[in-house]
A and B are shown apart, each in its own frame.
Chain A
Amino acid sequence: MENLVLVGLTNVITFTNIALILGGTLLGLFVGAMPGLSATMALALLLPLTFGMDPATGLSMLASLYVGASYGGSIAAILLRTPGTPSAAATVLDGFPLSQQGQAGKALGISLFASFVGGLLSGIALLTAAPLLGVLVLKFGPVELFAIAVLGITIIGSLSQGSVVSGLLSGALGLLVSTVGMDLITGTPRMTFGNINLFSGIEFTVALIGLFSIPQALVLIENAHGSQKVASKITDRLMPRLAEIRRLLPNIFRSGGIGIVTGLIPGTGGDTASWFAYNEAKRFARDKSRFGKGDIAGVAAPEAANNAVVGGALIPTIALGIPGSSSTAILLGALMVQGILPGPNLLTDYGDVTYTLIWAVIFANVGLLLVGLLFTRLCVSVTKVPDSFVACAIITLCVIGAFAINNSLFEVGLMLGFGLFGYWMNKAGVSPAPMVIGLILGPVMETSFQQSMLIGQGSLGIFLTSPIAVVLLCIAAFSVLQATPLFRWLRGALRARTQAQ
């Protein structure tokens, strides 16, 4: 065992591998920063290239690409309000306001640092506790997954800044849109209007690009001839200050933990983890009012979480041979091509290759910090480009991204439709964030509920038989109660009593 860990380490430390890790990270950053191009897509395309390489080299490159893309998504989210990957959607909420206040560099620096620490944490968890944590995965079946989705839905409540009603409306719309497509249990197409393109449902990324990016481009065009750009006067530094880092560390560690656990569970990934982490950062913050207006804690939390997902998702992959996400499913495919069959013997029989992969993830995070600093400095110059050019570039990227998802023009039209709707939401003061959560968690919640009902022979009691589900559902109920007048009244009453005593 000790030996295999060292074999893996020595496999990674060669000139070729380190060079490929840096190259893979850079490619990942680029893919991540482009809306619509995802890590999964890039991994699938690079996979055939690794067939001819030795396992250590191929896996190092693929793993570093995955790591790079997890951070890359935040660059466009912060600078352009267009999340480059679904997991960067939560970063928009505080990242973009910071950028508008002329602190784009600071936001990106915090994001990079949080990504690095989150990724490193998950790499260490992978190296030390994979077999231990892997067993946990099997405890999560449909019943538990349903409870997680319910807990996630409660985030909508805390995201609804200003009007709760408009937040709930946006969330409900997201849930509604997520029901489009074939019913899992009966195979019946729902709300597809006989259009075969809608049979597999609305691609979440298409909606995400439309809802965030197109409205932003339109707003930029609207204001192009008006006010002066603030962001063009960037004087702030990329490297975060030590005091800021110290203040953020508990938040980053917590978010990293959330990311690892969310990554572990098959069916949930970076997109879910980043919202959970954001919500918890807000819950634990002393001053909640600054969230959504440019709080660095709101950037650090989702970014630490979505990079921690990388290691988290790899834990079930290497401990049990179960992919924790679509990206790790492709990494597992890469292992299979090298003649390694997925299964629990990855850590023992094929330990040399598996530990190589783990070390590659850890090194890729270090590489990310180096490459990220250079790449990000380049990206910041985007803010010096006039708004109208940026707007055109955003729309072009959105069209390419939407097309690339399924190689079909239908998705482009759908994306533009969502774009116009998002623009209207923007004007009406309705935040698209709750809608995105509805879209992410709607299918998870519906599928797992139906499966639970089948397993439980139609009895709701099935949710009470799982301790994990009961705890999660209680937390969800508490979160909802916390937002109601009843809770405030209770707290007031309690305080009055203690004071009286």
Chain B
Amino acid sequence: MQKRGAFAATLLSTFLLSGAAQAEYSAGDELKVLQGFKAGGGSDALAQLTQPFLRESLGIEFVNEYLPGATGGIAWTRLAKQSPNDGSVISITNTPMLMTNYIMNDAINYSIDELTPIANVVTDPGIIVVPEDSPYQTVEDFFAAAEERPGQITVGNSGVGGDDFFSTIMIEKATGLTFQKVPFQGDGPSATAAMGGKIDASFNNLGNVYGHIQSGSLRPLAVFTRERLEVLPELPTLVEKDIDVVAGSSRGYSAPAGIPEEARQELIAAFEGLKDNEEFQRTAQERAMNLDILTGDDYGQMMQDMEVQFAAIWDEIKDEVNE
């Protein structure tokens, strides 16, 4: 049933994108993509954004296989432990979930050393939003309130182990403040709770709340990027407030460790090609996806940095969380 959906999708993209010159992918004419989440979710959105374009440049068919469960852990265990490393299987890898999964749970035992990072494609930056009638107009107001009432300002996140959970802790460490962290089942419920004033703030991701920010039902206080955002130029970054926190939720592609070098280079080249594909950029913008293409070793470095950072954080706080 789901393969049929994938088939329908590829069939459709055939109609949309036919007639282009096709290169050959050395590891076969079919590439299986393991997805750790249900069809129709954020990973699927990435697949539907990139795969029609890659299909053209690599000259292959993509077959999506959905293996939801354990916040992606089932698919990534399958990728690292049980998939052929001949370049015929890749997976959509979500960071930091990919690492926090095994950092936090002993029963999940793959690691990024068992993967070949191919490319990161999108990063949805972290953002602090408050209800429209919130007393906090600026991020300074918000931090001042947290200083006055330590541990009492309620802050929603998308769930333990998610990027918002960790960025809250990173901010706590950087500022010395403490918040009351309230986990929700995903970014959506966390944003809804903030809109209804059930929590004081939600640490969320730009893509999920941009519509609400535009209509004024949520007010952004700060974004966790290096530079200010083009779409919200008024919004300060935490970095310019001397809080060195840059975080977000990223999605990209990885293969099992030890795939043939030729196949790896071809895949990387295909993703590099997306960087200056104007049609791709436009499509991504239309779908409110923030491109952050980082290929090969750069993506690998990004994963390793995250692993070190999150392992250290978790080590420090796990006893407190498990109290």
Q: Footprint of B on A, CB under 8 Å? A: 37, 40-41, 43-49, 51-52, 137-143, 182, 184-189, 192, 194-197, 199-200, 266-267, 320-323, 329-330, 333, 336-337, 339, 341-345, 404, 406-408, 447, 451, 454-455, 457
Interchain nearest-CB distance for A116 vs B (Å): 27
How many Å lie between the Cα of A466 and that of B5 in the bound state?
A: 45
Interchain nearest-CB distance for B78 vs A (Å): 10
> Does B270 count as interface, using CB distance less than 8 angstroms?
no
B165-188 near A? 1/0 per residue, CB < 8 Å: 000000000000000111111001
B215, A141: Cβ atoms under 8 Å? Answer: no
- In the complex with contacts A45-B5, A47-B40, A344-B215, A407-B67 CB distance below 8 A: yes
Residues of B within 8 Å of A37, CB to CB, are 1
Interchain nearest-CB distance for A86 vs B (Å): 15
Residues of A within 8 Å of B69, CB to CB, are 196-197, 199-200, 406, 408
**Neighbour of B192 across the interface among A43, A189, A266, A341, CB < 8 A:** A266
B207-230 near A? 1/0 per residue, CB < 8 Å: 000111011010000000000000
Q: Footprint of A on B, CB under 8 Å? A: 1-2, 4-5, 8-9, 12, 15-16, 38-40, 44-45, 48, 65-71, 73-74, 77, 104-105, 107-108, 152, 154, 159-161, 180-185, 188-189, 191-193, 195-199, 210-212, 214-215, 217, 286-288, 321-322
Interchain nearest-CB distance for B292 vs A (Å): 19
Residues of A within 8 Å of B215, CB to CB, are 343-345
**Neighbour of A454 across the interface among B4, B161, B180, B287, CB < 8 A:** B180
- In the complex with contacts A341-B214, A451-B182, A194-B160 CB distance below 8 A: no
**Neighbour of A404 across the interface among B2, B15, B154, CB < 8 A:** B2
- In the complex with contacts A45-B2, A140-B196, A141-B193, A344-B212 CB distance below 8 A: yes
How many Å lie between the Cα of A94 and that of B322 in the bound state?
A: 46
Residues of A within 8 Å of B196, CB to CB, are 137-141
How many Å lie between the Cα of A342 and that of B214 in the bound state?
A: 10
- In the complex with contacts A187-B321, A330-B40, A199-B1 CB distance below 8 A: no
A48, B8: Cβ atoms under 8 Å? Answer: yes
How many Å lie between the Cα of A408 and that of B65 in the bound state?
A: 11
Residues of B within 8 Å of A406, CB to CB, are 66-69, 74
How many Å lie between the Cα of A185 and that of B192 in the bound state?
A: 18
- In the complex with contacts A186-B160, A455-B180, A199-B73 CB distance below 8 A: yes
Q: What is the chain A residue whose CB lies nearest that of B217?
A: A344
Residues of B within 8 Å of A330, CB to CB, are 40
How many Å lie between the Cα of A265 and that of B33 in the bound state?
A: 35
Interchain nearest-CB distance for A367 vs B (Å): 23
How many Å lie between the Cα of A188 and that of B74 in the bound state?
A: 17
How many Å lie between the Cα of A287 and that of B276 in the bound state?
A: 72
How many Å lie between the Cα of A331 and that of B192 in the bound state?
A: 18
B217, A52: Cβ atoms under 8 Å? Answer: no
- In the complex with contacts A48-B5, A142-B193, A196-B73, A343-B65 CB distance below 8 A: no
- In the complex with contacts A41-B39, A45-B2, A200-B71, A188-B16 CB distance below 8 A: no
Interchain nearest-CB distance for B182 vs A (Å): 5
How many Å lie between the Cα of A187 and that of B44 in the bound state?
A: 25
B48, A51: Cβ atoms under 8 Å? Answer: yes
B214, A184: Cβ atoms under 8 Å? Answer: no
How many Å lie between the Cα of A285 and that of B212 in the bound state?
A: 44
B198, A142: Cβ atoms under 8 Å? Answer: yes
How many Å lie between the Cα of A293 and that of B114 in the bound state?
A: 58
A44, B5: Cβ atoms under 8 Å? Answer: yes
Q: What is the chain A residue whose CB lies nearest that of B285?
A: A339
Residues of B within 8 Å of A189, CB to CB, are 105, 107
Q: List 7 A-B contacts (CB under 8 A).
A: A44-B5, A44-B39, A139-B196, A320-B192, A343-B211, A406-B69, A455-B199
How many Å lie between the Cα of A323 and that of B193 in the bound state?
A: 13
Residues of A within 8 Å of B45, CB to CB, are 333, 336
How many Å lie between the Cα of A186 and that of B104 in the bound state?
A: 10
Interchain nearest-CB distance for B288 vs A (Å): 6
How many Å lie between the Cα of A333 and that of B217 in the bound state?
A: 20
- In the complex with contacts A139-B196, A320-B217, A329-B44 CB distance below 8 A: no
B182, A194: Cβ atoms under 8 Å? Answer: no
Q: Which of B65, B152, B182 has the most CB of A within 10 A?
A: B182
A345, B70: Cβ atoms under 8 Å? Answer: no
B160, A184: Cβ atoms under 8 Å? Answer: yes
Q: What is the chain A residue whose CB lies nearest that of B68?
A: A406
How many Å lie between the Cα of A73 and that of B220 in the bound state?
A: 43
Residues of B within 8 Å of A455, CB to CB, are 154, 180, 182, 198-199
A407, B71: Cβ atoms under 8 Å? Answer: no
Residues of B within 8 Å of A187, CB to CB, are 104-105, 160-161, 321
- What are the 5 tightest A-B residue pairs by CB atom distance, in nearest-first order? A343-B211, A44-B40, A141-B198, A45-B5, A138-B196
- In the complex with contacts A186-B321, A266-B192, A406-B68, A321-B40 CB distance below 8 A: no
Q: Which of B1, B9, B212 has the most CB of A within 10 A?
A: B1
How many Å lie between the Cα of A52 and that of B157 in the bound state?
A: 35
B70, A199: Cβ atoms under 8 Å? Answer: yes
A457, B74: Cβ atoms under 8 Å? Answer: no
How many Å lie between the Cα of A199 and that of B67 in the bound state?
A: 13
